[in-house]
Structure 1
């Protein structure tokens, strides 16, 4: 009966069900990149620095990564649609608070904390509902393709949309825009029916949630500390590694005792899924790292305003949109492994172009070829990586794997901003820009090497 209802809902109005889910992914990805073009405006208005804005962006991405796994588990206990709506409301409140923030502290509370918590609650239901509502392989692939396209375009178009809004209405209006989109998603979500009832008796591993969150926060904080104190960086990284080790020991102990942990260790026993998670992490690390590095360089070093910076990023948006929209057609002709390998190769070529052309030309359009290739490469592999991971497990594991998958991706986003941003703000010069981009190229090559070990995966 449940399967019949799912199929009927998917057949009666797949676009009505899918659109709010894809739009939710869009606005969360948009929030992670649109602040990149507001660096100068926010710094002047709130009397802060480039480093302060970088911290706000990184903390937002980090909160998402740290809470995504607990957010995925809560969907079993309270229901997928209920968590989706709760996340949207918290996110909207954070956006409104950010819009009226008098200083960096309130901005971090609204944008980094509340929007981060809201995203961690609403994103896992997006992927779980998609998996449950679209049961056929072809329809599920199309649905994931649409969601990842919206997410990728949100991240790539964030600088352009944010730049337009900032130039015309001011940077605060960009947060009002986010709140309005949240209202629209809540309105459209009334069409969504949760295919599975919530289970109030489902256990929730509080200690595991705390340990995983603290461990991730310490690791990323260590990277941020690299530019000021190497000993502090080392201490935070070691502490983070110890806490994460404690976390894995804790969940294994719960499993041996017959209790349900926050995250089952069996999720890490699938080799293909593990490799897919690595490629997801690296994709978002490169995309968000490039976005922050190029945007900061354009504004701080070359003196471009928000709209000029956003227009330059149009090349990446167009490239990502083009390959994302072709995802279904490409998946019918090529294996998912081939698409991911090709995507990384094209991305590396884009970074090389960014280094070669920008260094030899003062023109802002020297950024366009490299950004276009990066957009094409990232768009080519976003959907295959997600599909490989999600399809490795049955419906009973979708809550866990969805939370893990989104956590890994958002951890990549926060690491990309933290690593590239730390290198860049340490000395905003041509050499710092080159060093940051070379670091991102090294990570892209790591992703390419990992993808070579993937199996062909389902088409």
Structure 2
């Protein structure tokens, strides 16, 4: 056995750590979907309205999406182990508070604070996993993280339904506590702290401007999709959020290397190409996630739980293929894996657009194709983006990638909703929206294969 191949092997400590970090990602991802089936029980038990109960889900999602880039930057600046441990303790503590919450206000607050913990954990895990797995096998890191996240999203409604029907919805919160504590203990024991030389300055102005922009746009899109996008409040929030983005850019230019998003990160051609592609393909994926279940409920008369289960052909294939994407990444190269994944996702949404309105079974091939595409694309493009920057910026890069996915999905959802509302019939609107999504997918595929290098493992240099 060669020296190089020996150095590529993972020892027992590394494997145990990867399992613990995977469990951390699993509960963070699971919490995006597990409570979707528990909303009626929460509404009944806490004597509240559906609109307020829905913010138990939205509060977590919005806060997580807003702070994910900040969490990544803090992990790179102050140490990934430190930020992960703090995030996991916050996540676990407020999971416990959420499970004990006597009223809806405290429950929503607990969920929002769980979002802060999750936003600290996710990018820290990304950085630590890419540190633990040898550079020559970095594609495995993307497959592991995205695969576990996909698994968490997939089993969320099932696990949430089982817990709600047996022990009660509060146990969806309680199960997070021992997992978070276990992850903290393993990481503290096995992961050395990442370090960064020189003085550390936090870009508070950058954090404030980016957070305000993202929260305004996300909340406006959430309100608009539930009510109407023609509301002056919704349009005003979107306008202010968009106007804050150039303010954020100006602030970043003045901060130099201390910026929340340093210029050296976005200056990478591969990283920027991956991010643009993620914005476009994220909008395609979110369209399927939102409008296929709505079609099953409104047109086919399925229950909310059954409609969520209707996505399982896509989500289970997504999770399974993600784990296979890592070895494939090194066998045929990043550009080809990303390109095949993007093309499959684009083809899948096109198939769904062509057969929507003919029942559920005709949708399954399109859903499976989407699952293959998402599994290949997001794991490979995450690795391509993170390995395109300096190792000390990898948590920040992972946070930006995730925010790009959320931002693309949110903007795509707004476009899809506008198209659906403008159509004469609901099914016609979905078909039109998905045809537009397919066109966006083609553009995203072209961007990805044009700007992402074809190496199985991109070079990570200290400068």
Aligned partner (choices 172, 175, 189) of residue 174 of structure 1: 172
Aligned counterpart, 2:459: none
Deviation at 1:286, TM superposition (A): 3.7
Aligned counterpart, 1:385: 381
Aligned counterpart, 1:4: none
User: In the aligned structure 1, how far is the partner of 2:435 from the partner of 2:52?
Assistant: 24
**How large is the RMSD of aligned CA atoms in angstroms?**
3.3
Aligned counterpart, 1:3: none
More divergent stretch after superposition (308-317 vs 53-62): 53-62
More divergent stretch after superposition (101-110 vs 60-69): 101-110
Deviation at 1:417, TM superposition (A): 6.1
Aligned partner (choices 308, 313, 316) of residue 314 of structure 2: 316
User: In the aligned structure 1, how far is the partner of 2:412 from the partner of 2:91?
Assistant: 23
**CA offset digits 1:226-262 (Å, max 9, x no partner):** 415343333222211221111111121222xxx6222
More divergent stretch after superposition (409-418 vs 273-282): 409-418
Name stretches of at least 5 consecutive residues in structure 1 with no aligned partner: 1-6
The 5 Å alignment of 1:195-274 reads 195-197=193-195, 201-226=199-224, 227-255=228-256, 260-274=258-272
Deviation at 1:386, TM superposition (A): 1.0
Aligned counterpart, 2:132: 133
After superposition, the Cα gap between the structure-2 partners of 1:431 and 1:400, relative to the gap in structure 1 and judged at 3 Å, is same
**CA offset digits 1:49-72 (Å, max 9, x no partner):** 3x6566554443332222122212
Aligned counterpart, 2:403: 407
- Check the 8 A contact 2:313/2:364 in 1, yes or no: yes
Aligned counterpart, 2:323: 325
TM-score, normalised to structure 2, is: 0.83
Aligned counterpart, 2:11: 11
SS, match of residue 117 in structure 1: helix
Matched, 1:98 2:98: yes
After superposition, the Cα gap between the structure-2 partners of 1:372 and 1:291, relative to the gap in structure 1 and judged at 3 Å, is same
**CA offset digits 1:298-326 (Å, max 9, x no partner):** 45665544653454332123311332122
- Check the 8 A contact 1:54/1:421 in 2, yes or no: no
**CA offset digits 1:48-104 (Å, max 9, x no partner):** 33x656655444333222212221222244321121111112112333343344555
User: In the aligned structure 1, how far is the partner of 2:235 from the partner of 2:119?
Assistant: 28
The 5 Å alignment of 1:12-411 reads 12-38=12-38, 40-42=40-42, 47-49=48-50, 56-101=56-101, 104-111=104-111, 113-138=112-137, 140-197=138-195, 201-226=199-224, 227-255=228-256, 260-299=258-297, 302-305=300-303, 307-361=305-359, 364-411=360-407
SS, match of residue 392 in structure 1: coil
SS, match of residue 32 in structure 2: helix
Deviation at 1:264, TM superposition (A): 0.7
- Check the 8 A contact 2:382/2:398 in 1, yes or no: no
List structure 1 segments (4+ residues) > 6 angstroms apart after TM superposition: 421-428
After superposition, the Cα gap between the structure-2 partners of 1:203 and 1:446, relative to the gap in structure 1 and judged at 3 Å, is same
The 5 Å alignment of 1:418-429 reads 429=426
**CA offset digits 1:341-370 (Å, max 9, x no partner):** 221222233223434444112xx5454333
Deviation at 1:8, TM superposition (A): 10
Give the number of equivalent residue pairs: 445
Deviation at 1:117, TM superposition (A): 0.5
After superposition, the Cα gap between the structure-2 partners of 1:21 and 1:10, relative to the gap in structure 1 and judged at 3 Å, is same
TM-score, normalised to structure 1, is: 0.84
- Check the 8 A contact 2:338/2:381 in 1, yes or no: yes
Select the structure with the greater relative contact order (CA < 8 A; seq sep ≥ 6): 1
After superposition, the Cα gap between the structure-2 partners of 1:400 and 1:321, relative to the gap in structure 1 and judged at 3 Å, is closer
More divergent stretch after superposition (199-208 vs 239-248): 199-208
